[in-house]
Amino acid sequence: MERNRRGGNRNISFNYSKRGILNYAGEISLGNYLTSSTAGSDAGADGDTIGCMTSENEASKIGIVIAVGFALVFFPALWMFVGLILSRISGWHGLAAKYRMDAKFAGPTWTWQTGHMRLVGFRNTLTVGTNRQGLYLAVLFPFRFQHPPLFVPWSDITVTPKRGLFIPGMQFLMGPAPGVPLWLSAGLAEKVRQASV
């Protein structure tokens, strides 16, 4: 700043140095740069967040697809495996080797029946039929894997009374010795007897 005196009047002028202007301009430029950098950083952070969310969504979808595919394969395979084991334990598989019936049975039948073969209980899943030639057995369709329909001639069956855990019943010993036992309630066994004469 310079002061000049002319005729007693004082003129005061202010001179701004280039350095001051540059500094001021530099501060403005730096501020703009910082503002731009901050905005760019925020945009980059938002982009990273969106990218992470997209990746998580894709991973979640892939996980769901894998879980559904596993369930579609695992549960039917487990169901078939259990049917295979039960057919061996009950003796149904052994009877099917000789008494399997592929034709339609001709005679009265009773569905949703309960019976026991060895250690396996068929609760409300049996279809029992009879005629003068023999005894017909089948299970409901969902449980039919490794359990084909059977037709055992009466000549290969021995019937004896046998009480169940709480109710009386009859035992049908099927096939050659030692045979495969089938236990039916006394009421159902009586229906079978009457329809077979």
Fold type of domain 92-196: PH-domain like (2.30.29)
Choose from 51-60, 62-71, 97-106 the range with maximum mean pLDDT.
97-106
Q: Does the structure show a pLDDT above 70 at 17?
A: no
Interval 41-70 mean pLDDT: 67
As a whole number, mean pLDDT of residues 129-137 equals 97
Give the integer Cα–Cα distance in Å for 172 and 175: 10
Q: What are all long-range contacts of 86-92, with beta carbons under 8 Å and residues at least 24 apart?
A: 86/120, 86/146, 86/147, 87/146, 87/147, 89/118, 89/119, 89/120, 90/117, 90/118, 90/119, 90/120, 90/180, 91/117, 91/118, 91/175, 91/180, 92/117, 92/146, 92/147, 92/150, 92/180
Averaged over 47-55, what is the pLDDT?
A: 60
Q: What residue spans define the domains of the chain?
A: 92-196
Over residues 144-167, the pLDDT tens digits come to 899 999 999 999 999 999 988 788
39 pLDDT exceeds 70?
no
Per-residue confidence at 72, pLDDT binned at 50, 70, 90?
confident
More confident residue, 2 or 44: 44
Quote the mean pLDDT of the chain.
79
Checking if the pLDDT of 63 tops 80, the result is no
- For the ranges 50-54, 66-70, 75-79, 172-176, the lowest mean pLDDT is seen at 50-54
Strand partners, 173: 158, 181
Mean pLDDT, range 112-118, rounded to an integer? 96
pTM of the model: 0.65
- The pLDDT score that the predictor gives to residue 187 is 95
pLDDT tens digits along 175-190: 987 899 999 999 999 9
pLDDT of residue 157: 97
Q: How confident is the model at residue 143, as a pLDDT?
A: 85
